Amino acid sequence: MSSVTHRTVFRLSAISMAFMSAFAWAQEAAPAAAAPEGAASAPQSAATLPTVTVQDSATSPAPIEDWRSMERTTDKDLKEVLADQVGVQFGGGRGVSQHWTIRGMGADQINLVIDDASSDVQIFHHQGRYFMDPALVKIIGIEKGTGSASSGIGATSGKIEATTVDALDLLREGQDVGFRLTGGGSSSKDAGWGGGFSVYGRKGMVDGLFSANRTHSDDYKDGHGDKVGQSALDMRSYLAKVGVSFSDDARFVISQKREQEYGLRNLREEFFFNTDNDNPSNKKRTIDTTTLSLKGRTAGFVDTYDINFSHIENGQESTPLAGGATTKVDVDTNVANVRLSSTIFGQHRLKYGLNWREQQAGSTSQQNAGLRKQKKTDTGVYVEGIWRFAPITLTTGLRYDRFSLQSNQVGGKSASGGKVNPSIGLIYDVNDELAFNISHNRATRSPRFYEAMLSSTPLIYADDLRAENSRTTEIGVDWRRGGFALNAQYFWQTIKDMQTFTGINCRGRSCQAQLVGNGATLKNNGYEINASYRRGGLTGRIGVAYSKPKVNGATYDQVATAIPMGRQWVTSLSYRMPNPSLEIGWRGRYAQRGSYLESSRGGGEAVNRAGFGVHDIFATWQPYGNDRMNVNFSVSNLFDKYYRSHSQRSGASALPEPGRSFRVRVNWRY
């Protein structure tokens, strides 16, 4: 098994660091996450990532989110799992009502990638595109800013990337069959319950897993005690996966995943209404994903290969509470990736491959208007070199992306285009404790579909329609000594040719057609600082993030694109006792006051965001002294604070966050 330093991997890619070092860090650097008796033991296969040698005992400044760490929490959605991550924010509400941001960049600019597959299609502009059940996840990584050449399609402003769990992750050493049970509930102002189970095993070279989970949440109450109407949600999910390890160097996996949301929801799910004036509907949303992957190593000149294909069916049905026809939306996505790497001259690495994605979206309103589905194909090829000249590590990359877009008009005009984007990075390891880095990455994002639920309007593409073009320059430092760890980054980002939709012959909100073009420039700059300290069972972290996105020079609330917000802080302090095996801790999340110009109705008036501070306390008890069983307890929003996330619009209709909530969650693994 190869070994590289933690420091070099960290600055090559935040995603690579998270995926390569999570389990090594958990076992070597954090007693609370240590792999005890019976830890998962997978054979050394293509799916097993290289060991990362951590050279000191400092805890990671950014929390690592894997299935072991999530079993020691009461978190029930991705918003809560990533609450401690600096620079990552979520809007209010539950499920698809939440707006996601990375460094202030909205959902139109970031990707959610699960098992190397993603979609960028919007169902409706007032709700987020993404939701994901963390109960099915093995590990989550975050990449911020414009991605390097190997980051995939549309990596203009960052991504959240997850890998789903499989049997080899959960099986203990010497175990051939196992199961996992999880259950819990919450009371007070965020009442609900949830539970799930997993069964898994292996025989010979074949292994399999089936996992199911359900979370039910009632309408919650804010910090003032007012009920947030139409916020109740029922979420269900399952994952079935079969793997075949042909040898230690080749593994094939096929999986089927389903995630669903049910509930009485507002038309505009991100807004707070306790009356019937927002056309509440009974909604059902389903995402079905089928994935096939082949991973391996040592195939001639190719050291590692990862070849995968995914088919995603994303659908929503809405039936108005007041009566009327059911509206249906369907989005079909096919994704294929070929990722290869080779060693050059014994110490350098070359990564190269192909990314392909085909999408189409339609709705009943579109069919009724006599229009066809929107269709788009993205294709990208890349090569990236990692050149090690100690104490310097140089990364160079080149990527070519091309898109082809079909209008929803029968016989309508199509659009296409392509662009080459370079990337370069430099890491200087001063010594084993200190390193500096600088990088410059460029990437494109192809024009988006018009909202699928509103696609009854004909689309006209501008003659010179182009992909959005993003570039980010970033400098940073990484320092570790003893139990201390610190990393900091400062970045500058520019996105040119921002996509615009302009109504043609409009009367009120009804337009004869929509012109799709390019018409804005976005500039964003800011910084992030993460610091941590660990001594014995004591662990402390503090982080701060600041970003200031501007569209055409003004801080407008382009919610899906960029959201100006106040400076964000996260803090945590915990203590782990060995006997009894008990961890207790506190978390704090803070936002300083911020402001922006309101633009959703063309007003241009100044809007101020109130700052807030929210505190949580938590405890985890392991009755067996290891991770066989975890009993988790927490009090979220300890002081019953009334507040609104900055990762959404401000105003009286924006969703407030839940008030004080008491939670308990227990999981047991055999």
Separation of alpha carbons 198 and 136, rounded Å: 10
Tokens found for residue 469: 């073009």
The predicted pLDDT at position 456 comes to: 84
Does 343 score more than 60 pLDDT?
yes
The predicted pLDDT at position 293 comes to: 97
Average pLDDT over residues 73-91: 91
Name the pLDDT band for 130 (thresholds 50, 70, 90): low
Average pLDDT over residues 404-425: 92
Window from 51-55, 353-357, 377-381, 662-666 with minimum mean pLDDT: 51-55
What single-letter DSSP state applies at residue 45? -
Average per-residue pLDDT for the chain = 86
Does 5 score more than 60 pLDDT?
no
Q: Return the residue matching tokens 């917000």.
A: 565
The predicted pLDDT at position 632 comes to: 97
Window from 89-98, 525-534, 586-595 with minimum mean pLDDT: 89-98
Per the CB < 8 A criterion, the answer to whether 40 and 47 are in contact is no
Cβ atoms within 10 Å of 600's Cβ, excluding its own = 11
The predicted pLDDT at position 128 comes to: 57
Q: What are the pLDDT digits (tens) for 281-312?
A: 899 999 999 999 999 998 788 999 999 999 99
Does 201 score more than 70 pLDDT?
yes
Average pLDDT over residues 269-273: 73
Helices (H) and strands (E) in the chain, counts: 6, 34
Q: What are the pLDDT digits (tens) for 491-517?
A: 999 999 999 989 998 887 788 889 999
**Residue 668: left (phi > 0), alpha (psi -120 to 50), or beta?**
beta
Does 4 score more than 50 pLDDT?
no
The predicted pLDDT at position 405 comes to: 95
Average pLDDT over residues 405-420: 90
- Exposed, middle or buried, 192 (CB in 10 Å: 0-12/13-18/19+)? buried
- Give how far the C-alpha of residue 648 lies from the chain's centroid of Cα atoms, to the nearest Å: 17
Q: What are the pLDDT digits (tens) for 230-252?
A: 889 999 999 999 999 999 899 99
What single-letter DSSP state applies at residue 450? P
Does 395 score more than 80 pLDDT?
yes
Window from 6-10, 398-402, 596-600 with minimum mean pLDDT: 6-10
Average pLDDT over residues 324-352: 94
Ordered by where they begin, the domains of the chain are: 3-669 (2.40.170.20)
Window from 203-207, 290-294, 548-552, 640-644 with minimum mean pLDDT: 548-552
The predicted pLDDT at position 603 comes to: 52
Q: What is the CA radius of gyration of the chain?
A: 24
Name the pLDDT band for 19 (thresholds 50, 70, 90): very low
Pick 525 or 551 by higher pLDDT: 525
Write a three-state SS string for 260-287. EEEEEECCCCCECCCCCCCCCEEEEEEE
Per the CB < 8 A criterion, the answer to whether 41 and 171 are in contact is yes
- Exposed, middle or buried, 452 (CB in 10 Å: 0-12/13-18/19+)? buried
Tokens found for residue 431: 């010594």
Name the pLDDT band for 58 (thresholds 50, 70, 90): low
Name the pLDDT band for 24 (thresholds 50, 70, 90): very low
Separation of alpha carbons 59 and 57, rounded Å: 6
The predicted pLDDT at position 511 comes to: 87
Does 443 score more than 60 pLDDT?
yes
User: What 3-state DSSP class applies to 411?
Assistant: coil
Separation of alpha carbons 76 and 237, rounded Å: 12
Pick 296 or 595 by higher pLDDT: 296
The predicted pLDDT at position 12 comes to: 44
Average pLDDT over residues 196-222: 96
Separation of alpha carbons 84 and 96, rounded Å: 20
Pick 365 or 667 by higher pLDDT: 667
Q: Return the residue matching tokens 């402003």.
A: 157
Q: What are the pLDDT digits (tens) for 637-647?
A: 999 999 999 88
Q: What are the distances in angstroms from CA 402 to CA 154, 392, 427, 465, 637?
A: 11, 33, 31, 13, 46
The predicted pLDDT at position 28 comes to: 34
Does 48 score more than 90 pLDDT?
no
Does 23 score more than 80 pLDDT?
no
pTM for the model stands at 0.89
Separation of alpha carbons 627 and 72, rounded Å: 9
Average pLDDT over residues 602-615: 79
- Exposed, middle or buried, 162 (CB in 10 Å: 0-12/13-18/19+)? buried
Separation of alpha carbons 631 and 583, rounded Å: 10
User: What 3-state DSSP class applies to 290?
Assistant: strand
Does 418 score more than 50 pLDDT?
yes
Does 41 score more than 80 pLDDT?
no
Window from 92-96, 326-330, 342-346, 626-630 with minimum mean pLDDT: 92-96
